Amino acid sequence: MVLSREQLSHIKTVFKHSEFFPNYPQDDTTQRAWIEIDETALHHNVQQIKNLLSPRTSLMAVVKADGYGHGAVKVANTVMAAGGDALAVATLQEGIELRLAEIEAPILILGVINTLEEVEALVHWQLEPTLCSLPQVQLFGETLQELGTMLPVHLKLDTGMSRLGMRWEEAISFVQYVQQFPELEIKSVYSHLATADEQDDRFMRLQQQRFESAIAQLDSINFTAPCLHLANSAATLRDSSFHYDLVRVGLALYGLSPSPHLSAIADLKPVLQVKARITQIKDIPAGAGVSYGHQFVAKEPRRIAVVGIGYADGVPRNLSNELQVLLKGKRVPQIGAITMDQLMLDITHCEHAQLGDIVTLIGQAEQEAITADDWAQQLGTISWEILCGFKHRLPRLSVKNAE
């Protein structure tokens, strides 16, 4: 097909300043694919969550896994500006990334630190570790003695998650052992809920009873934790009795409910949208196979569009021939196997589709919306996994949409 002068002009307008022009900033939406982060929605979600909390309860934003795929630095700055009180990450490296970005908020490391070098790095970067075993306490205590410095630490109790932490029945011996090292400043005692997003709340209540039993044990030795925290996003949304001094909120910050039965509690707005551009349009005859393995074969002549995004960007290959996207506000089916860098759409009924048009994979276009929850339901997984699957080669672009 020979392009008209008008079509060529359109293409040049769309792709000018693209990756083919290296002098142009590469964070522009003229790229093949990108993620948009709505700072207005994120700020709104912080306010919605804070509205559920009493003035005595602080908000800790969980920004691990690169802010659940949204960009940890971008999220952290926005959350703190919106009234957040502290941050949590999973690893030492994630904490250092925030410090290198000149973020000064308290940062809790939720994962395990088990080497002398990591302890020294914590001190240097002023990060706050989780202590969850006696050997770990000994390592920290002895290392800090040699360094001649103190460090705020958070003690984790296992109340039924069976993951990190000392058993709740051992709270007294745990705290007493930590107190043998004056260099360890106990900043909080906390636990983590295993089933807070489920409708049946019996085990969640049992974990709360165990947590409060542990606190009562500590009261018997005249130890009062400066801060207690137990609630994740689900518990924060469903019951204020779980709020204590601080809540640790992840998924809800990003505008998704941990469970459908909790979705009406707060007016949360999705923060992330995934978009890409049509890079080629072609007509195929009846009988033509599409993509690897010819999982899709055209039964009649079709018009298809190639889109510059694939499983290397975080679009699950298992969505092949099941995925729908939004093009000009309409749902369009994806066909054939999703490939590493590209996928194909059937645009036979999209008369006005053009090269360079924006396709929305997750997000809203006009009156239609596709969410990470939709993908998760199709794949039999959870929205957390979908959000964390988007790769770094997709630039994260800040947008501020009107409320």
> In the annotation, is 244 catalytic?
no
Tell me the C-alpha distance between 112 and 153, whole Å.
12
Question: CB-side exposure of 275: number of CA atoms within 13 Å?
Answer: 25
Which residue among the candidates 50, 64, 74, 156 is catalytic per the annotation?
64
> In the annotation, is 16 catalytic?
no
Report DSSP letters for 299-356, one per residue.
SS-EEEEEES--GGGT--GGGTTT-EEEETTEEEEEES---SS-EEEE-TT-TT--TT
Coil, strand or helix at 275: strand
Tell me which amino acid residue 320 is.
S
Which residue among the candidates 24, 292, 391, 400 is catalytic per the annotation?
292
Is 231 in contact with 189 (CB distance < 8 Å)?
no
Q: What is the DSSP secondary structure assignment for residue 32, as one 8-state letter?
A: S
Is 5 in contact with 12 (CB distance < 8 Å)?
no
Coil, strand or helix at 80: helix
> Which active-site residues does the annotation give?
64, 292
